[in-house]
Amino acid sequence: MIKQDYSSLLIRILSILSPLSILILWEVMARVHIIDTRLLSSPSLILHAFIPLLLSGELLYNTAVSVQRVLWGFLAGSAPGIVLGIGMGLSPLIRSAFEPMIAATYPIPKLALMPLILLVFGLGETSKIFTIAIGVFYLVVINTMAGVLSIDKIYLDVAQNFGANRKNFYLTVALPGALPMIFAGLKLGMGMALILIVAAELSAAKAGVGWMIWRAYDMFAIEQMFIALITLSFLGYLFSLLLDALENWVLPWKKQV
């Protein structure tokens, strides 16, 4: 018992200590010129660059632009993904109509579609949102279908025996039964959205965290690039926290397992 407490304390200390020591090591190596600060910068230089970028509102503005694109793309991809995934899980007809198509197009890297998306939707916001949406859609639809298919058949019998109509069947059995897998899909989709936002902002963007990275590359402003990278990591962490909170709220029955 005591040993366990000791090790859990150790784990907590280590998980703070190890990234901290890497930062210190980075800073020291930069100061003694072991590493080239023009390429790899240093924690103190990044902090110096961070403050004006934050105070001027530039960082917040670019973050807000990207967050907006991620959220719209995430919604536009996950909502049809959930609806189609449930349909495919419940109906063999819908499944056989869509599954081959989805299986065939899923392996295409979504980035490879960017030029086509730009041609179709132009250079505006729609193309960026669509790129993210399509990446999220695949992960959500596949997971939702698997979630519905994994619902124990006994629950379908119960719903039928107790006279559930179609609407009630969706609301009381299909959707709640598939929700744990839907959330797994949403979490994967959120990771995908963050990957795609950077790529989507590579071409024809005038703002955004991804755009900041590419502009920093063009201007050789390494500190700004690191700040944008840290912002992305922070966004990823924040989104996963939000999804976890949403999951705990929507799936109270899973929490206690």
Partner 1 sequence: MAYEKESISVTNLSKIFHTTSGEITALQDISLSIGEGEFFCIVGPSGCGKTTLLRILAGLDSSSGGTISLKTTNVDRPINSMVFQEQSIFPWMTVIDNVSYGLRMRNIPKKERYEIANHYIEMIGLSKFTHAYPSQLSGGMKQRVSVARAFANDPEILLMDEPFGALDEQNRILLQHELLRIWEEARKTTVFITHSIDEALCLGDRIMVMSANPGMIKTIITNDLPRPRKISEIRTSLQYNQLFQSIWQILRDEVTNSKANSSTEEKSNY
Q: How far is the CB of 148 from partner 1 (least distance, A)?
A: 14
Q: How far is the CB of 244 from partner 1 (least distance, A)?
A: 18
Using CB under 8 A as the binding criterion, the count of chain residues that bind partner 1 stands at: 21
Name the maximum alpha-carbon separation found in the chain.
76
Residue 170 found at the interface with partner 1 (CB under 8 A): no
Q: How far is the CB of 107 from partner 1 (least distance, A)?
A: 33
Residue 4 found at the interface with partner 1 (CB under 8 A): no
Tell the residue number behind the tokens 């132009």, with chain if given.
Answer: 122
Quick one: 59 or 179, whose CB is closer to partner 1?
A: 179
What sections of 32-162 are H helices per DSSP?
37-40, 43-55, 58-90, 92-105, 114-121, 125-149, 153-161
Phi, psi of 109 (to 5 degrees): -60, 130
Residue 249 found at the interface with partner 1 (CB under 8 A): no
AA identity, residue 216? A
Residue 176 found at the interface with partner 1 (CB under 8 A): yes
Say how many C-beta atoms besides its own lie within 10 A of residue 138's C-beta: 21
Closest by CA to 54, choosing from 242, 231, 218, is 231
Residue 177 found at the interface with partner 1 (CB under 8 A): yes
Quick one: 50 or 155, whose CB is closer to partner 1?
A: 155
Q: How far is the CB of 70 from partner 1 (least distance, A)?
A: 29
Q: Which of 179, 198, 200, 222 binds partner 1 (CB under 8 A)?
A: 179
Residue 251 found at the interface with partner 1 (CB under 8 A): yes
Q: Interface with partner 1 by CB under 8 A: which range of 2-10, 32-40, 100-108, 175-183?
A: 175-183
Instruction: Tell me the C-alpha distance between 24 and 84, whole Å.
Output: 50
Instruction: Tell me the C-alpha distance between 124 and 197, whole Å.
Output: 14
Site for partner 1 in 109-168 (CB under 8 A): 154-155, 157-158, 160-165, 168
**Distance in angstroms between the alpha carbons of the first and the last residue of the chain:** 23
Phi, psi of 115 (to 5 degrees): -60, -45
Q: How far is the CB of 93 from partner 1 (least distance, A)?
A: 20
Tell the residue number behind the tokens 């930062």, with chain if given.
Answer: 23
Residue 253 found at the interface with partner 1 (CB under 8 A): yes
Q: Which residues bind partner 1 (CB under 8 A)?
A: 154-155, 157-158, 160-165, 168, 172-173, 176-177, 179, 251-253, 256-257
